[in-house]
Amino acid sequence: MGYLRALIILNRLNVMKRNKLFFTIVLFLSIMSAKAQFSNIRTGLSLAKSAILEIEGEEYSNHNLGIYADAHYQLGKKFYLVPGLELFLPRKETFSMGGESKTTLLNIYADGYYYFTPSSDLSAYLIGGLNVAFWHLQDQHETAYSGDVDLKENKILPALSTGLGLRYEVTYKAYLFTQARIVIGSSNQLIWTNGIQVLLD
């Protein structure tokens, strides 16, 4: 009993620390955005490899392709503020006893990027910041043990994000890029994205 109580207290402390870190990053990015200069835009395709949400004992996922777009605001020679969004195609699941579920996921985020060698043709970069996931769930199906499931719900889940990327210069004004982002929160995600980056300055 004491062990269980200790686990509950530890979990609450972890949530408090994560929320405190979340709002600290919000404040930092807000201050930095006042000094930022618009630089370029990016677009591409994303693949959610592990996006799972549990509600009322049921697991919902969106392992699907999505459309990705963001903008770069330059903070310094190597630092950028990168707000953006990615919308994943709805994922449908049918059940043997009848019915189906549909899960739609939208991520809106604000990340900080650090480019190791921004002037090189090939440059790696680190990613770190905030992510807000908007889940839309519809589920109507029959089960053998727990009765019928009838669920329609929207969830908004703030989280932290981190990752690593690589970009390659194709022309003076265009780059190809590939990156992996990890979203850490109530619904963990692993997102792989490929696309093109266009300089506007």
C-alpha dist (Å) from residue 139 to 55, 73, 133, 135, 191: 11, 40, 19, 13, 24
Boundaries of domain holding 59? 2-199
| pTM of the predicted model as reported, rounded to 2 decimal places | 0.74
Report d(CA 64, CA 90) in Å as an integer: 8
Report d(CA 42, CA 125) in Å as an integer: 15
pLDDT truncated to tens, each residue of the chain (201 aa)?
443 344 334 344 444 555 555 555 555 445 444 444 667 788 888 887 767 777 666 677 778 889 989 999 888 889 999 999 999 888 877 766 667 778 888 999 999 999 999 889 999 999 999 999 998 888 776 665 666 766 777 888 899 999 999 999 999 889 999 999 999 987 788 999 999 998 876
Of 85, 93, 89, nearest to 48 by C-alpha is: 89
Overall number of domains in the chain: 1
CATH of the domain at 135: 2.40.160.20
pLDDT of residue 13: 40
pLDDT of residue 15: 47
